[in-house]
Amino acid sequence: MEMDFKQLALAIQAIAEEKNLPEEAVQEVVEQALAAAYRRDYGDREQEVRVTMNLHSAEVDAFVSKEVVETVENADFEISVADAKKIKKDAAVGDTVELHEKVTTFGRVAAQTAKQVILQRLREAEREIVLAEYEDKIGTVINAMVSRVEGMIVRLELGKAQGIMPKSEQIQGERYYPSQRLKVFLKDVERGQRGPQLVVSRGNTEFMEWLFRAEVPELEAGAVEIKNISREAGVRSKIAVASSVQGVDPVGTFVGGHGTRVNAVVGEVGEQEKIDIIVWDENPEQYIMNALSPTKVSKVVIEKDTKRAKVIVPEDQLSIAIGRGGQNVRLASKLTGYELDIEAENGTAPEAKTEEVAVTSTPAPAPASAPAPAAKTPEAAPEKPKQQQQPHKLKKKEQLESSLLEAIEEHGE
């Protein structure tokens, strides 16, 4: 089977080049497989066998380790002192020597075994090399190409590895199709039966941060920084930014001249996703006000123990503060770390007036109590004056009836 060994040597070189594997790694895998085949055809499975292969000459050499003994009981594992000295002149009982044998042929079963081992070990070697390469890239943005879309999972080609993008990591409303080129954030590398599988994302906050890092060089310089990001991919994102250099406007730095920087990020994630860039503040009240932008906030009351905050806004700003489906307040809550309760100003006004009435003199409650319900239920306002001023209204009614009778009589005349 010399010819087969030559073909094997050529195959090793071709596989190493195709899989982009080091030739030494491929050769090592093949030699281990040939050692297994040798033990099957010429010895015992428990034997210690080392096989070397010259890729240029296609020569295969086997080296079998045997223990030197006085009386040989098992020829597969032991060798006599006399025979051992032919290999090693100073061999003594207890030593281990290697017997060199030229391998020219393998049986059909052994050859099939070697083939299976080679394929299995090559896959393992490829996985280890890919894992080593991509483990260093976890947490970075890499280029990918969509290979196919399977239901809610998008499969991508990332150089020598395969990647998957689950539904939870996709941008809402974004469409994917084969051969589409994308930028993706590498989240993790998983060991799978089909080889290393890369989990990528376009919908996480880290992807948004990396896009801004590519557009805002001041981030690397340390002049500005991103304090936090809350995101609902494909819908809206809020980014809290700060400046460490006096005179540098952090929001303007991220927006760029004529909006070029933020527009470049929007061009990657899609125009359907709105991006709010707000100023981070050490004062939590001010930070919450900024986070609820573009809402005009009247007052913020912080409960630091429970990490809750009551936000009071003008009545016409209530729907803006909450946002469609609670989106604005939800993102602001994630951004600031506080659970936010939004209230309109008219909701707290009656309570304040009631407290004022309590500390006034005795005659005050009658006129002060009238406007209080008027703010809540305008229809109830006329009822109280009827009860309080019943006599005056009856007199006016009698006067009105008499005046009407006089007018009728005059008209009749």
CATH code of the domain in which 45 resides: 3.30.1480.10
Angle at which helix 108-135 crosses helix 23-42, to 10 degrees, equals 150
Q: Provide φ and ψ at 167, rounded to 5°.
A: -60, -40
Rounded to whole angstroms, the Cα distance separating 177 from 179 reads 7
Whether the pTM exceeds 0.85: the reply is: no
- Judge whether 126 lies within some domain: yes
Does 52 share its domain with 97? yes
HEC string for 87-136: HCCCCCCCCEEEEEEEECCCCHHHHHHHHHHHHHHHHHHHHHHHHHHHHC
Judged by DSSP in three states, 321 sits in helix
Q: Quote the tokens at residue 332.
A: 């602001």
Local confidence pLDDT in tens for the 413 residues of the chain: 344 677 777 877 787 777 777 878 888 888 888 888 888 777 777 788 888 888 777 788 889 888 888 888 888 788 898 888 888 888 888 888 888 888 877 777 777 777 787 777 777 777 777 788 888 899 999 999 999 999 899 999 988 788 999 999 999 999 999 999 999 999 988 776 666 778 999 999 999 999 999 999 999 999 999 999 999 999 999 999 999 999 999 999 999 999 999 999 999 999 999 999 999 999 999 999 999 989 999 999 999 889 999 999 999 999 999 999 999 999 999 999 999 999 998 764 333 332 333 333 333 333 333 333 333 334 444 444 444 444 444 445 555 556 655 655 555 54
β-strands 141-150, 153-158: how paired?
A: antiparallel
Which contacts of 242-245 are long-range, i.e. CB under 8 A and separated by 24 or more positions? 242/279, 242/280
Q: Contact at 8 Å (CB) between 37 and 113?
A: yes
Does 261 share its domain with 299? no
What pLDDT shows up at residue 400? 55
Q: Provide φ and ψ at 147, rounded to 5°.
A: -95, -45
What pLDDT shows up at residue 92? 87
Residue 89: which domain range? 2-132
Does 305 share its domain with 183? no
β-strands 308-313, 339-344: how paired?
A: parallel
Does 293 share its domain with 276? no
Does 8 share its domain with 34? yes
Does 58 share its domain with 86? yes
What pLDDT shows up at residue 322? 93
Does 337 share its domain with 247? no
Q: Which letter does DSSP use for residue 380 in this model?
A: G
Judged by DSSP in three states, 66 sits in strand
Rounded to whole angstroms, the Cα distance separating 100 from 87 reads 9
- Judge whether 209 lies within some domain: no
Does 191 share its domain with 244? no
Does 171 share its domain with 116? no
Does 166 share its domain with 274? no
